[in-house]
Structure formats: structure tokens, C-alpha cells
């Protein structure tokens, strides 16, 4: 066991552990890509990473700065066109896990990456949907990795870019979203999973050194804790070693600070 | 049939004020030289489309070329916001920008429908999303066989598509490889097609099943070495990540941006002069 680690390292390691070996994973850029590659370099060497730019089975030695870096193409089993990624591979039902980030998230795992404020007159214009709405509906299950604060974990989204469990209960199934939806949300403070009946995100694991009060203070709704809520096992030495080496290689390759979030 | 032309002449001939214009390239092979030439020739009132606007569209929008943008993800990949895009949407500067916002799956399918000469694209998408509530172009259709409700969007048919590729032979047949994005579909969906290439060669020596656009679907081929800089061309040069980071500071402020556009694009004759000026500026920065 390692002596010390950052909150971001804990989040990345906890997210990486969720990806089973041999899973076919549709990877968003930033934190999802870091976590998926950490999984591939530790317990899930046969995980298949699919990027929306076209690489299938990418095995990058450094983290891509953008979703279409050359390193992804060079290390992939095959590179297909973007329409083919979305038509044959995602909509075709070949993705086990969709790995997403979020700018805002609500208690039903719905995601906003579009605007803060009103759509017509936004206070902050965010990048938009990218591949997320269809990844969320077509992947068998979804993992969300996002830093937790009152700004990101909100009672009500300004805009629902990507549906999770919509209004909770069985509203997701009724709306025609195919996969299981967000089975876990991994943050820098804790892990949340949907309640079996209400589908409300409930804290199941709290990271070492984090209090319930801190989790509550950084959540924009009255967050619930599972009765058997436990402490997240801390990062193991080899997980941290692999993650830090990956970050160091990335920084060396890209110059300066390496991959941005 | 493709004609070898200077990029300046191809732009003057095939890109007009008010056109619906696609400059595609998914991180890779982004046609920066062509985007600069559109700014240099001061095209106005364009309807731009691009899945991932990237900094090339930040430049076109900030320079006042665009009245409308169709897109699915607008950011500076790995860095943050597109400040000129945001300023246009949030504050209407330098001119208001109407947005037609979609998802990647939508636009990829809409280009395929355009290339297929179909009126619309159909796919399983947008369930639960608010995007259909703010964009009337996103509608629903019932499958006549199963009754499943599916998303439907109009086909994308640009007036002109511009892409960058690695090679073209002397006849104008174009070969691209690596990350292909939607370039082939965007080209085949368009009324007119301009392709800039790294290199003009005698023969493509392309393997069967390579991504080749035959000369007869292209209007103009232009040799523009490093024409995708600061994005990359697989097999030729890497992405200039430093410039993507530097763009954040250049574009954040209207004045700094306007000075950059004036000095680097409007005051340069063509892309090779732009590259020379940029190299000179960078080497001076390093010396300091």
C-alpha cells in the first residue's frame, strides 16, 4: 500500500477498477481516457478501447491529448470511419461500457455538457454533446467519472444533454434508452450507484480520508448513503506506479503539463 | 473532374459568400490552410458545418465569416473552450451566430445520408436528451416494420466541402489514411469539393480498399505542404500541441485575437508565408 496519493489519483484508480478485462469500452477524452488506459495497463490488458474518431482496440503508450491523436490510430487493431464507429460498433450493440465525463450531473445520472444558464442566452457555453447521448443509450452500461462539487452535482440540470435515468424509476426504459445506463459515478470523493428501485444515485463507497460531511457539502441535493456504505480501498502501490508512469510519459511526449482534463 | 489549382484560385472559384461550407477532419488532417484562405478572402455570411469546430472554426467565427454553425462538439481538444465561438454565442461578437446543435452520431449519419442522396438520416438516438426540444431539425420517425421510434434529421448537403489529405496523383485522385473521420462522406455529400494535399505524386500506390477519392468527384486539388498545421498529417508531421495551448491565450481577448488574425492571416499572402512568419515568431519566443 502506498503512503500518499491525490484525490484525482484515487478517482482515476477507482474508475479504472470498474472496467472488467476484455470489456469493449467506448472512451471519452480526458479523465475517462486516463482511467480506461490505466485499467488496460493493470488488471484489464485485453480491454478493447474504442475512440469516436475511429480507432478500435487502441493501445496508446501515452495519453492522447485529443480524441484523434495519431498514437491511437497506430496502436489500434483497426481504424474505421466515424460514421462506421457510430453505426456498426455503437448502435450495432458491440459496446459493453461507455465511459463518460460531465460538466453537470443530477441525482439520476443525467448529464449536461451543453450550457450553463438558458439555452438561448447561456451564461457559459459548454462544448456540447459529442458522442455522449448515443453512447449513454446504446452502450450496455455507462460509467461516469467527474470531480464532485456543488457546481457539478446539481439539483436541477440547466440542460439535459445526455439521459441517464431521466426522472428515475423506470422512466429510462420507457423513453427507449437501450442499455442499463449509468451503473456507477466515480468522483474524487466517493462512488455512487443507482438505487435499484428509485435509480437515485446513492453513495456506496467513500474514499479514504473523506468524511460524509464533505460529500454532502459538495453535492447540490440531499445525497443518500447506502446502509452498507464502506471505504474505497486506497490505491495500491502498483496502480499508482503505473498511473504516474503513464502521466510522466504523456507529459514528456506532449511537452508541458501533458493531458488536460 | 479535379483540376490542380492554387488554393487561392480554388477558394475564389468554389467558395462564395452565403455558402453552406464543411471543413472536415476529426482532429487529424484539419484543413487549416483552406480555412485561412477563406478568412483572407473575407468570405461573409457562411453557414459552417463541422462535427468538432476546433480552432479553425474559432478563427473563422472570430474573423466574422460565419452566420450559422452546425456542430456536435465545440471545444479546443485537450485545452478547454473555444473563446471566439463562445463570445459569438454568448455576446454576438463580432456578429451573431445562429447555432444548429447536434450529436456526433447525428452528424455522422446526416453526412452519410447526404452522400447517399437520401432526404434524411435515421438512427437510434437522442432519447431523453433536451436537444430535440431546442432544435426543430431533430425529429422522430416510427419504423414501418417494428414501430420503434427513431431519430430523424435532414441530410447534410454542403455547397462546398474542403478536406485535407496526404497525397494526390497528377490526375487528381486523392489518398488519405489514418483517422478518417467523416471526410469521405462530407466530400461525397457536397455539390463542390476542394482537396488540399501534402504532396503531389506520380502514383498513389494505394492498396485495394484504401480510402481513395477519385479525381472525378473532386473540383479542385491544391498542393499545400503542412496545410493541416497545427493539426497533424499522419506520416508527415505531428500535431502542434503547443499552438493549441497558445491559442487559448491568443483567442481569449478580442483585441489580441484581432491582431493575430490581421498579422498572421490578412497580412500574409498565403499559407507558406503564414508558416514562415509563425516559425520566425516561435524562434524569437524561444530565444527570449
Domain boundaries, given as residue ranges, for chain A: 7-252
Count structural domains, chain B: 1
pLDDT cut 90: percent of chain B above it: 94
pTM, two decimals, is 0.96
Distances (CA, A) of B152 to A89, A176, B66, B130, B138: 19, 15, 26, 15, 6
pLDDT cut 70: percent of chain B above it: 99
CATH number at residue B183: 3.40.1080.10
Is a pLDDT exceeding 70 seen at residue B100?
yes
Among the partner residues A67, A81, A177, nearest to B77 by beta-carbon distance = A67
Does the residue B253 lie in any domain? yes
Q: What pLDDT is recorded for position A251? A: 87
CB atoms within 10 A of CB A228: 6
The pLDDT mean for chain B works out to 96
Cis link prior to B94 (omega < 30° from 0)? yes
Per-residue pLDDT of chain A (261 residues; tens, 9 = 90+): 446 999 999 999 999 999 999 999 999 888 999 999 999 999 999 999 999 999 999 999 998 887 778 889 999 999 999 999 999 999 999 999 999 999 999 999 999 999 999 999 999 999 999 999 999 999 999 999 999 999 999 999 999 999 999 999 999 999 989 999 999 999 999 999 999 999 999 999 999 999 999 999 999 999 999 999 999 999 999 999 999 999 999 988 876 544 433
Does the residue B247 lie in any domain? yes
Does the residue B205 lie in any domain? yes
Which chain B residue's Cα is nearest to A132? Answer: B103
Among the partner residues A65, A81, A159, nearest to B182 by beta-carbon distance = A81
Does the residue B204 lie in any domain? yes
| Distance of alpha carbon A77 from alpha carbon B3, whole angstroms | 36
The pLDDT tens digits for B107-134 are 999 999 999 999 999 999 999 999 999 9
Name the minimum distance, in Å, from the CA of B38 to any CA of chain A: 24
Q: What pLDDT is recorded for position B287? A: 55
Is a pLDDT exceeding 80 seen at residue B258?
yes
Distances (CA, A) of A258 to A43, A52, A98, A164, B79: 24, 21, 24, 31, 10
Does the residue B130 lie in any domain? no
CB-CB under 8 Å, B90 with A52:
no
Is a pLDDT exceeding 90 seen at residue B101?
yes
| Distance of alpha carbon B262 from alpha carbon B258, whole angstroms | 6
Chain B residues in contact with A68 by the CB 8 A cut-off are: 26-28, 77, 179, 181
Q: What pLDDT is recorded for position A260? A: 39
Q: What pLDDT is recorded for position A227? A: 97
C-alpha torsion sign, points A169, A170, A174, A175:
positive
The pLDDT tens digits for B26-35 are 999 999 999 9
Q: What pLDDT is recorded for position B51? A: 97
C-alpha cell at B227: 496545410
Does the residue B100 lie in any domain? no
Write the burial class of residue B99 (CB in 10 Å: 0-12 exposed, 13-18 middle, 19+ buried).
Answer: buried
CB-CB under 8 Å, B234 with A70:
yes
Q: What pLDDT is recorded for position B150? A: 97
Q: What pLDDT is recorded for position B31? A: 98
ipTM, 2 decimals?
Answer: 0.95
Q: What pLDDT is recorded for position A261? A: 33
Give the contacts of B62 (CB within 8 A, at least 6 positions apart).
B84, B87, B88, B94, B251, B257, B258, B261
Which structural domain, as residue segments, surrounds residue B188? 3-49+157-275
Give the residue numbers of A annotated as catalytic, written as ranges: 52
Does the residue B40 lie in any domain? yes
Question: Residue B169: which of B189, B147, B195, B146 has the closest Cα?
Answer: B195
- Can you identify the CATH homologous superfamily of domain A7-252? Glutaconate Coenzyme A-transferase (3.40.1080.10)
Q: What are phi and psi of A106, to 5 degrees?
A: -110, -175
B125 contacts A178 by C-beta, under 8 angstroms: no
Distances (CA, A) of B124 to A47, A90, B54: 26, 10, 26
The pLDDT tens digits for B265-282 are 999 999 999 999 999 998
Collapse the DSSP code of B247 into the 3-class scheme (helix H, G, I; strand E, B; otherwise coil) and give the result.
Answer: helix
Does the residue B239 lie in any domain? yes
Amino acid at each position: 500500500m502506498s503512503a500518499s496519493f491525490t484525490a484525482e489519483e484515487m478517482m482515476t484508480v477507482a474508475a479504472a477498477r470498474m472496467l472488467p478485462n476484455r470489456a469493449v469500452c467506448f472512451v471519452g477524452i480526458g479523465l475517462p481516457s486516463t482511467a480506461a488506459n490505466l485499467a488496460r495497463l493493470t488488471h484489464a490488458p485485453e480491454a478493447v478501447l474504442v475512440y469516436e474518431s475511429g480507432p478500435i482496440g487502441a493501445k496508446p503508450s501515452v495519453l492522447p491529448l485529443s480524441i484523434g491523436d495519431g498514437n491511437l490510430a497506430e496502436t489500434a487493431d483497426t481504424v474505421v470511419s466515424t460514421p462506421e464507429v457510430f453505426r456498426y460498433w455503437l448502435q450495432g450493440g458491440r459496446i459493453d461500457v461507455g465511459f463518460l465525463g460531465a460538466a453537470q450531473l443530477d441525482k439520476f445520472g443525467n448529464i449536461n455538457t451543453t450550457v450553463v444558464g438558458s439555452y438561448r442566452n447561456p451564461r457559459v457555453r459548454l462544448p456540447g454533446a459529442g458522442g455522449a447521448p448515443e453512447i449513454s443509450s446504446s452502450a450496455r452500461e455507462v460509467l461516469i467519472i467527474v470531480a464532485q462539487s456543488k457546481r457539478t452535482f446539481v439539483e436541477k440540470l440547466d440542460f439535459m444533454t445526455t439521459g441517464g435515468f431521466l426522472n428515475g424509476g423506470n422512466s429510462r426504459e420507457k423513453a427507449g434508452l437501450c442499455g442499463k445506463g449509468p451503473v456507477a459515478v466515480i468522483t474524487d470523493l466517493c462512488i455512487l450507484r443507482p438505487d435499484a428501485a428509485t435509480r437515485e444515485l446513492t453513495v456506496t463507497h467513500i474514499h479514504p480520508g473523506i468524511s460524509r460531511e464533505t460529500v454532502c457539502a459538495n453535492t447540490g441535493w440531499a445525497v443518500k448513503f447506502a446502509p452498507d456504505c464502506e471505504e474505497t480501498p486506497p490505491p495500491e502501490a502498483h496502480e499508482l506506479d503505473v498511473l504516474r508512469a503513464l502521466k510522466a510519459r504523456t507529459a514528456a511526449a506532449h511537452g508541458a503539463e501533458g493531458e488536460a482534463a | 473532374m479535379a483540376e490542380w489549382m492554387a488554393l487561392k484560385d480554388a477558394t475564389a472559384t468554389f467558395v462564395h459568400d452565403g455558402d453552406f461550407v464543411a471543413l472536415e477532419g476529426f482532429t487529424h488532417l484539419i484543413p487549416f490552410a483552406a480555412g485561412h484562405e477563406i478568412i483572407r478572402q473575407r468570405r461573409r455570411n457562411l453557414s459552417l458545418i463541422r462535427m468538432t469546430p476546433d480552432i479553425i472554426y474559432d478563427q473563422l467565427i472570430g474573423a466574422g465569416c460565419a452566420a450559422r454553425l452546425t456542430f456536435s462538439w465545440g471545444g479546443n481538444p485537450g485545452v478547454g473552450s473555444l473563446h471566439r465561438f463562445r463570445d459569438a454565442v454568448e455576446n454576438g461578437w463580432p456578429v451573431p451566430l445562429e447555432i444548429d446543435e447536434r450529436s456526433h452520431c447525428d452528424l455522422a449519419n446526416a453526412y452519410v445520408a447526404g452522400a447517399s442522396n437520401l432526404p434524411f438520416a435515421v438512427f437510434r438516438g437522442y432519447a431523453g436528451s433536451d436537444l430535440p426540444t431546442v432544435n426543430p431539425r431533430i425529429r422522430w420517425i416510427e419504423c414501418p416494420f417494428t414501430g420503434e421510434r427513431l431519430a430523424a434529421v435532414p441530410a447534410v448537403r454542403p455547397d462546398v466541402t474542403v478536406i485535407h489529405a496526404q497525397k494526390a496523383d497528377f490526375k487528381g485522385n486523392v489518398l488519405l489514411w489514418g483517422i478518417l473521420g467523416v471526410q469521405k462522406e462530407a466530400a461525397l455529400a457536397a455539390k463542390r469539393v476542394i482537396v488540399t494535399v501534402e504532396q503531389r505524386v506520380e502514383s498513389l500506390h494505394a492498396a485495394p480498399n484504401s480510402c481513395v477519392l477519385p479525381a472525378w468527384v473532386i473540383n479542385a486539388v491544391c498542393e499545400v505542404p503542412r496545410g493541416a498545421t497545427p493539426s497533424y498529417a499522419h506520416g508527415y508531421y505531428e500535431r502542434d500541441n503547443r499552438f493549441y495551448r497558445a491559442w487559448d491565450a491568443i483567442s481569449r481577448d478580442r483585441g489580441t485575437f484581432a491582431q493575430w488574425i490581421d498579422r498572421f492571416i490578412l497580412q500574409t499572402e498565403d499559407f507558406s508565408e503564414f508558416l514562415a512568419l509563425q516559425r520566425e515568431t516561435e524562434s524569437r519566443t524561444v530565444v527570449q
